[in-house]
Chains A and B, each alone.
Chain A
Amino acid sequence: MMQAEAPGPGGPFPLGHQEHQTPDFELTLPARAENVAVVRHAFGGLGEALAVPDHALADVKLAVTEACTNVVVHAYGENEGPMAVSAELRDGRLTVVVADEGRGILPRPDSPGLGLGLPLIATLAESLELGTGEGDETEVRMTFVLDGPPEADAPAATESGLA
């Protein structure tokens, strides 16, 4: 199920091949720890509006929280900068992009984290891509299947109620 695409040795690759579409929603905030909770709460609103099943929404919120935490911890160091989160729903799949204008996703010998964030996102999402957007901003692009069963080995998919 997991189809994570990690950046190669040369670092993140451009995501310019992605078809550019206006996302269904985009939320931009200062990249500060307290705003991670705002983003998470906003996705609760998205889940309510789109009747996303609880198990799928929990995965989305956890993965988005991890991606935003990465931005807060790694993107700007001691400086301030924006954190942009966008989401787009197509054919029962939710694509979420977390972007920043900071130093990007590079190995950090002084990283305060355990390095589990991206592997966790890769496990929760159907696909994960790391790269740069049209404006050279760093992007984490995650896609989630919203109408799948709670467990990968469940016998049949359930109706999600998504239009």
Chain B
Amino acid sequence: MSDASAPVANEATLTVRLHELLGPVLGRVVGMLAARAQCPIDRLDDALLLTDAVAAHAPAHAANGRVTVHVRADEEGLSLRVGALREGGAEELVESAALPGVGNVFRQVASDVRAEGGELVLHLAFRSA
């Protein structure tokens, strides 16, 4: 079943129905997985900014009242896959994370922001290319 030569996946999947749990629980999970992946401290701050934005806005765009976030971290970066979002929800979620004078949090902070089906995928590279 396991392959000793395969890289160990540093990942977790969190599904939340009680939306007030999303921020506190997701922040801790992301923080631990990112730290384990040797995330630089400035990027850890960015990772938690993304997490807070997801927690604040994703529930309003969820397809079924639940928000699922798949978190994966490796030495290259951190990925958050947020779903299941209603039709057009991924784009709306991105747009809702705009702050006056700051701009869009997802686009400003993440290295890659894209909608894939009913999910929003965010990638944060730990180091500049």
**Does the CB pair A34–B16 fall under 8 Å?**
no
**Does the CB pair B28–A41 fall under 8 Å?**
yes
CA distance A80 to B11 in the complex (A): 13
State which residues 2-54 of B face A: CB under 8 Å.
Answer: 2, 8-9, 11-18, 20-21, 23-29, 31-33, 36
CB of A79 within 8 Å of the partner chain: yes
The minimal Cβ–Cβ distance linking A98 to chain B, given in whole angstroms, is 15
On chain A, the residues within 8 Å of B32 by CB distance are 37-38, 41
On chain A, the residues within 8 Å of B81 by CB distance are none
**Does the CB pair A27–B36 fall under 8 Å?**
no
Contact with B along A74-96 (1 / 0, CB 8 A): 00101111000000010000000
Task: State the majority secondary structure of interface residues on A.
Answer: mixed
Contact of B66 among A22, A27, A30, A41 (CB under 8 A): A22
On chain A, the residues within 8 Å of B21 by CB distance are 24-25, 45-46, 49-50
Q: How many B residues touch the partner, as a band?
A: 20 to 34
**Does the CB pair A78–B2 fall under 8 Å?**
yes
**Does the CB pair B16–A48 fall under 8 Å?**
no
Contact of A42 among B1, B8, B25, B36 (CB under 8 A): B25
CB of A157 within 8 Å of the partner chain: no
On chain B, the residues within 8 Å of A117 by CB distance are none
CA distance A117 to B31 in the complex (A): 28
13 new A-B pairs (CB below 8 Å) besides A26-B15, A28-B14, A41-B32? A22-B17, A22-B66, A24-B17, A27-B12, A27-B29, A32-B8, A34-B36, A38-B28, A45-B27, A46-B21, A48-B24, A49-B20, A80-B1
- Can you sample 23 A-B contacts with CB below 8 Å? A23-B15, A24-B18, A25-B15, A25-B16, A25-B18, A27-B13, A27-B25, A28-B12, A28-B13, A30-B8, A30-B11, A32-B8, A35-B12, A38-B12, A38-B28, A41-B29, A42-B14, A42-B25, A45-B26, A45-B28, A46-B21, A49-B23, A49-B25
